[in-house]
Amino acid sequence: MARRRNGPAGPGLPFELGVESHEGLDALVRAIRAEADGKQLRKDLAKNMRDVLKPAAAEAKSSIMGMASAGLRPGGPALRSSIARKIRPEVKLGGRWSGARVKAFKTKNVRGFPNAPRRTNRARGWRHPVWGDRDNWVTQHGKTDWFDDAFKGREGQYKAAVHQAMEDMARRIANRAG
pLDDT at 48: 94
Question: What does the pLDDT read at residue 132?
Answer: 78
pLDDT of residue 14: 27
Cα angle 127, 75, 112; round to 5: 30
Total number of domains in the chain: 1
User: For the chain, where are the E strands, in sequence order?
Assistant: 3-10, 13-18, 87-92, 99-104, 126-130, 133-140
Q: Checking DSSP bridges between strand 126-130 and strand 133-140, what pairing results, if any?
A: antiparallel
CB atoms within 10 A of CB 123: 8
Q: What is the pLDDT of residue 5?
A: 33
pTM confidence score: 0.76
Structural domain of 22: 3-177
Q: Divide the 178 residues of the chain into consecutive groups of 10 and give the mean pLDDT of each group.
A: 33 35 79 84 93 95 88 72 92 86 86 84 87 88 90 91 91 79
Determine the length of the chain: 178
Are 35 and 81 contacting, i.e. CB atoms less than 8 angstroms apart?
A: no
Tell me what pLDDT residue 3 has: 34
The single-letter code of the amino acid at 28 is L
The per-residue pLDDT for 128 is 83
Compute the distance between CA of residue 129 and CA of residue 110 in angstroms, rounded to an integer: 15
Is residue 131 within 8 Å of 154, Cβ to Cβ?
Answer: no
Task: Report the interhelical angle of 22-34 vs 38-65 (nearest 10°).
Answer: 140
